[in-house]
Amino acid sequence: MAFNANLEVTDKGTGKITLSGELDASVAPLFRAEVEKAVAQKVKRLALVMDGLDYMSSAGLRALIFAKQKMGANTDVYIIGAQESVMETLTMTGFHNSVIILDSYDAAKIEG
């Protein structure tokens, strides 16, 4: 399945990147480019909607770490709807401790 990453910015300043397909080394630059766009738009929080992401390699994990670092310490990063295999990777590496995990996109919880 082809990888896709699409950034939307809500009127409350949330960068929402919807991911689908397989996030690996060959497509990680596409994801990083969407993160860079979010940074350029000075979003207040970043929501990564992953319910359509079927697979994430170690390079994909590095891209997530890049996103967290690029957003800065004061910006909340949300992982939304990650499938079990993706969550296993996040949990095994401890990255789940650096982000906020939600089952589904809930603007009230995210944008407060």
Q: Is 83 helix (H, G, I), strand (E, B) or coil?
A: coil
The per-residue pLDDT for 73 is 86
pLDDT tier at 21, thresholds 50, 70, 90: very high
- Give the pLDDT mean for 10-35: 96
pLDDT tens, position by position, 31-52: 999 999 999 999 999 999 999 9
What is the greatest pairwise CA distance in the chain?
Answer: 36
- Give the pLDDT mean for 76-80: 97
Domain count, the chain: 1
Degrees, nearest 5: CA angle 33-36-42:
150
Extract the tokens encoding 46: 């970043």
Determine if the pTM surpasses 0.85: yes
- Give the structural domain span for 60: 4-111
**CATH code, domain with 45:** 3.30.750.24
pLDDT tens, position by position, 82-97: 999 999 999 999 999 9
pLDDT tier at 22, thresholds 50, 70, 90: very high
End-to-end CA distance of the chain: 34
The per-residue pLDDT for 110 is 94
* CA distances (Å), origin 21, targets 4, 9, 11, 54, 85: 6, 21, 27, 5, 13
The per-residue pLDDT for 88 is 94
- Give the pLDDT mean for 14-24: 97
